[in-house]
Amino acid sequence: MAHPKRKVSKQRRDKRRTHDFAVVPTLATCSNCGATVLYHRVCPECGYYRGRQIIEKKAQ
Ligand SMILES: [Zn+2]
């Protein structure tokens, strides 16, 4: 198996991990029902997007 020739130093390891943080999604509030929704997504609660009904929801 491929095997690293040298130990990765703490500095090099930690520099590699500077890009590994988790990104918190930007949230918006639905203008129709007030639920918290992701940007550029149809509201999962009421099916509205940009003021229009996009998908029909059985229970409202
Ligand atoms: Zn909504």
**pLDDT < 70 stretches in the chain:** 57-60
Where do the DSSP E strands lie in the chain?
A: 27-29, 36-38, 48-49, 52-53
Based on the structure, what is the number of domains in the chain?
1
User: Which among 26, 29, 39, 45 has a CA at the least distance from the CA of 53?
Assistant: 45
The pLDDT, as a whole number, for residue 52 is 77
Range of the domain at 32: 26-60
Q: How far is the centre of ligand 1, averaged over its atoms, from the C-alpha of 40 (Å)?
A: 13
Judge whether 49 lies within some domain.
yes
pTM for this prediction: 0.49
Q: How far is the centre of ligand 1, averaged over its atoms, from the C-alpha of 31 (Å)?
A: 7
Q: How far is the centre of ligand 1, averaged over its atoms, from the C-alpha of 33 (Å)?
A: 4
The pLDDT, as a whole number, for residue 25 is 80
Judge whether 12 lies within some domain.
no
Judge whether 10 lies within some domain.
no
Q: How far is the centre of ligand 1, averaged over its atoms, from the C-alpha of 23 (Å)?
A: 24
Residue 44 CB-density burial (10 A; 0-12 exposed, 13-18 middle, 19+ buried): middle
Judge whether 4 lies within some domain.
no
User: Which among 27, 24, 49, 26 has a CA at the least distance from the CA of 36?
Assistant: 27
Q: How far is the centre of ligand 1, averaged over its atoms, from the C-alpha of 48 (Å)?
A: 6
